A and B are shown apart, each in its own frame.
Chain A
Amino acid sequence: MLGRTAASLFWTLRYNERAENMARLLEVAYRIAMTPRFGSDAMDDWRSTLVSAGCLDAFEAKGGELSQRAAINFLLFDRDNPSSVRTCVELARNNARSVRTAITSEMWESINTTYIEMMEVKPQHMTDDKLPGFLSWVKQRAMLFRGALLGTLMRNEGYYFSQLGTFVERADNTARILDVKYWILLPDNEVIGGSLDTYQWSTILRSVSANRSYRHAYRDSSLKAFNVAEFLILRKEMPRSLAYCYDWIEESMEDLTDVYRERLPSYDMAVATHKLLTDRKMSEVFQYGLHEFLSDFISRNNGLSLQLSADYNFA
């Protein structure tokens, strides 16, 4: 397989995953905007959404004033925003197109249809009443593409690179959502445990589609900072948790190592990061420092992406 093909598969799936995550983040932000405030400024919420999306710097660089409309527009449609849903869809599709021969026609038709329909959406027509339907369409389309991949793609190196793209992106997304709000998850906060906190915790869960599953995962279904953090970091049943993502990452790296019969530095990195998520309890993470843990994780995860690119000639 060409190095460029491997890179394009990896990035197609990263962008596809990012589009989905961006839609989910917006769903939550939009919900917050409709909920009565606890003394906080509405614009603070939008700013924090931009931070979670990793887009605040890019937004401020454009120099526009922050408003709900401006934030939504920036996250959905802005061509200058490398992570806007439209940019992600376009990049995912162009990457898929450049490796058209390495993906199945089902995958191609799915992502190409998404792209065609996305390009027909006019930002000025995206009124508040249309937003929820649109966001759920974005999520559905991203999941359809993943479904086409899982159902039709040969289980060879291309598949492993695709899986790596998905889970590296997803792990990054979950870790960032947690890190932006890490202080409200610190156990000390539980003493206060007011309705504001409960509300913030459920927001975090919603950002990763985990609000319902949390209630089933914990016998005491009421929201607790400790449990929320544990759920999204260490619990393997939760398909967007860091532990779950690294289960897949390590497995895919193992498969690649088998295919190439060669153990490369990226494999060792994946194993080391995975170990951080399997060998310790949540209380130890808190002891170490939640913020420190998350920022260390984010930089390891980025490092893995760079190492993959070096090991497998992504250039």
Chain B
Amino acid sequence: MEERQIFNEMLNEQGEPREPYRALLQWLESQPPGILKKKTREAETIFRRLGITFAVYGTNEATERLIPFDIIPRIISASEWRRLSAGIDQRVRALNAFLHDIYHRQEIIRAGRIPADLVIQNEAFLPEMIGFTPARKVYAHIIGTDIVRVGENEFYVLEDNTRTPSGVSYMLENRETMMRMFPELFRLNRVAPIDQYPDCLKDTLKSVAPDGVDDPTVCVLTPGIFNSAYFEHAFLADTMGAQLVEGRDLFVDNGKVWMRTTRKPEQVHVIYRRIDDAFLDPLTFRPDSMLGVPGLFDAYRAGNVTICNAPGTGIADDKAVYAYVPDIIEFYTGQKPILNNVPTWNCAKPDDLAYVLDNLAELVVKEVHGSGGYGMLIGPTATKRELSEFAKRLAANPKNYIAQPTLALSACPTHVASGIAPRHVDLRPYVLIGDKVRITPGGLTRVALRKGSLVVNSSQGGGTKDTWVLED
């Protein structure tokens, strides 16, 4: 991809406001100076008091931190959203079909559309899942599709996040905070509501309960209060009216999963788990896991409990499999993908590796199993030394990396020390898949607060914005 201008979501090339931002810009211009600073402080106080924090691993600072919140919303028009949501819908259905296939007949491998090694030898492929069919054939019930924009009508999917995507509580709390602080903006704009998300989540989880259970008991399984996303786990359990449990609160007896209550054990039918596959069940996976429930996987395979997302979904958001998602979509839906994939070099292939090593300074290189922005290289902003050190690591273990062109992420108006300035953003819409596909309008916009930075991860100093989808 060639060097090109950064797409500004609020202003066109002539510096005039684009349609979705017109009302907001007018309002901003009518505000007294200093108001944004004051409102930002107000928002921070609200977030801190509510305990909307996350933990950053590997720092010595306080274990709980606030994610910076930018009070200027990101706005998406109704027509843009129709296209995005159609593309997301297509993608998540195809990924679920892919998961069902590779754990059963593996037609896509037989058809030669994806290399067998890439799937079977993949760390994220779970042989324990072979031959097992979860309720409604749904594997990934909750997906956060990471999308970036580079032009007027140009959107790319960066990652599919089919394991345990986080951040939806920020999406919801950001909206609550904006509505509390700027009620007049919601009168000036027709913003699609998002507060139905917890109900949709609960309906989705209930819809995939084991067969024959009329009134399923749903719980949220958390690693506990020291986990970085604990706030979110508690928030979701609370807003759904579900129990928030830790592994030690559950046990398996007679092939069924039970909660340890104050008196008689209570059976659990659906577990929205926020712990990784490896920790789910020490008897099947990591024997040293203190977070999981011994015997859980057997109860799952016996069809007595549904685990959401299913174990083994990581194969669908593996960064090496990612390159094949367009093929996956065509294979299972017979349609062309609506949303673009970012061109990806798979460093396991010698030709790709050679290209990547030659062009390291222009590329973004990611670890195949990495997440959270840890262990990645952004060529254009890296120093010579960082580049040469990374090249060594890459050459030593090429299978561990993929590379992509550095995308010119679109920019949105953002409140910074000097006033309002454009900063790069991405978007994570949240999708629920059960008896039907439910997509909440908008999603979480993450913003790179440092000038010129392309890294939006909260663990790397990124912030968030409320995201509006306007209704027609």
Q: What residues make up the interface of A, taking CB atoms closer than 8 Å to B?
A: 1-4, 6, 94, 97-101, 105, 108-109, 112-113, 116, 119, 157, 260, 262, 312-313, 315
Is there an interface contact between A2 and B259, defined as CB atoms closer than 8 Å?
yes
Shortest C-beta distance, B230 to chain A (Å), equals 7
Is there an interface contact between B50 and A3, defined as CB atoms closer than 8 Å?
no
Can you list 15 A-B contacts (CB < 8 A)?
A: A2-B245, A2-B261, A2-B262, A4-B260, A6-B262, A97-B51, A99-B244, A101-B244, A109-B49, A112-B51, A119-B62, A260-B262, A262-B263, A312-B263, A313-B260
Tell me which residues across on chain B come within 8 A of A1, comparing CB atoms: 261-262
The interface on chain B, measured as residues whose beta carbon lies within 8 A of the other chain's beta carbons, has a size of 24
Chain A, residue nearest B50 (CB): A109
Tell me which residues across on chain B come within 8 A of A99, comparing CB atoms: 244
Cα distance, A2 to B235, chains bound together (Å): 18
Main secondary structure of the interface of B (DSSP, over half): mixed
Cα distance, A119 to B48, chains bound together (Å): 13
Main secondary structure of the interface of A (DSSP, over half): helix
Chain B, residue nearest A314 (CB): B262
- Whether, in the assembled complex, B177 has its beta carbon less than 8 Å from a beta carbon of chain A, the answer is no
Shortest C-beta distance, B468 to chain A (Å), equals 25
Chain A, residue nearest B263 (CB): A260
- Whether, in the assembled complex, B243 has its beta carbon less than 8 Å from a beta carbon of chain A, the answer is yes
- Whether, in the assembled complex, B234 has its beta carbon less than 8 Å from a beta carbon of chain A, the answer is yes
Given A2-B259, A4-B260, the answer on whether A112 and B49 have CB atoms closer than 8 Å is yes
Is there an interface contact between A113 and B49, defined as CB atoms closer than 8 Å?
yes
Is there an interface contact between B225 and A2, defined as CB atoms closer than 8 Å?
no
Is there an interface contact between B51 and A4, defined as CB atoms closer than 8 Å?
no
Tell me which residues across on chain A come within 8 A of B234, comparing CB atoms: 97, 100-101
Tell me which residues across on chain A come within 8 A of B235, comparing CB atoms: 100
Is there an interface contact between A101 and B225, defined as CB atoms closer than 8 Å?
no
Cα distance, A119 to B64, chains bound together (Å): 12
Cα distance, A6 to B262, chains bound together (Å): 7
Cα distance, A4 to B249, chains bound together (Å): 7
Tell me which residues across on chain A come within 8 A of B224, comparing CB atoms: 98
Q: What residues make up the interface of B, taking CB atoms closer than 8 Å to A?
A: 48-51, 62, 224-225, 230, 234-235, 237-238, 242-246, 248-249, 259-263
Cα distance, A98 to B248, chains bound together (Å): 13
* Smallest CB-CB A-B distances: 9 pairs: A100-B234, A312-B262, A101-B238, A101-B244, A101-B237, A112-B51, A6-B262, A98-B225, A3-B260
Is there an interface contact between A2 and B51, defined as CB atoms closer than 8 Å?
no
Is there an interface contact between B262 and A157, defined as CB atoms closer than 8 Å?
yes
Tell me which residues across on chain A come within 8 A of B237, comparing CB atoms: 100-101
Cα distance, A222 to B235, chains bound together (Å): 55
Cα distance, A3 to B264, chains bound together (Å): 10
Is there an interface contact between B225 and A313, defined as CB atoms closer than 8 Å?
no
Tell me which residues across on chain A come within 8 A of B259, comparing CB atoms: 2
Is there an interface contact between A313 and B230, defined as CB atoms closer than 8 Å?
no
Tell me which residues across on chain A come within 8 A of B225, comparing CB atoms: 94, 97-98
Chain B, residue nearest A100 (CB): B234
Chain A, residue nearest B244 (CB): A101
Among B225, B242, B243, B245, chain A packs the most CB atoms within 10 A around the CB of B225
Partner of B230 from A97, A113, A119 at Cβ < 8 Å = A97
Cα distance, A250 to B169, chains bound together (Å): 41
Cα distance, A119 to B248, chains bound together (Å): 30
Chain A, residue nearest B46 (CB): A109
Partner of B51 from A3, A108, A262, A315 at Cβ < 8 Å = A108
Shortest C-beta distance, A152 to chain B (Å), equals 14
Partner of A101 from B49, B243, B263 at Cβ < 8 Å = B243
Tell me which residues across on chain A come within 8 A of B243, comparing CB atoms: 2, 101
Chain B, residue nearest A2 (CB): B249
Chain A, residue nearest B245 (CB): A2
Given A2-B245, A2-B259, A6-B262, the answer on whether A100 and B50 have CB atoms closer than 8 Å is no
Cα distance, A23 to B456, chains bound together (Å): 45
Besides the known contacts A2-B245, A97-B225, 8 further A-B residue pairs in the complex with CB atoms under 8 A apart: A2-B262, A3-B260, A97-B230, A100-B244, A108-B50, A112-B50, A116-B48, A313-B262
Given A97-B234, A112-B49, the answer on whether A313 and B244 have CB atoms closer than 8 Å is no
Cα distance, A1 to B249, chains bound together (Å): 11
Cα distance, A92 to B29, chains bound together (Å): 46
Cα distance, A195 to B100, chains bound together (Å): 86
Tell me which residues across on chain A come within 8 A of B62, comparing CB atoms: 119
Shortest C-beta distance, B433 to chain A (Å), equals 25
Shortest C-beta distance, B42 to chain A (Å), equals 15
Chain B, residue nearest A93 (CB): B51
Chain B, residue nearest A312 (CB): B262
Chain A, residue nearest B236 (CB): A101
Shortest C-beta distance, B66 to chain A (Å), equals 11
Tell me which residues across on chain A come within 8 A of B262, comparing CB atoms: 1-3, 6, 157, 260, 312-313
Cα distance, A305 to B260, chains bound together (Å): 19
Tell me which residues across on chain A come within 8 A of B261, comparing CB atoms: 1-3, 313
Among B62, B237, B262, chain A packs the most CB atoms within 10 A around the CB of B262
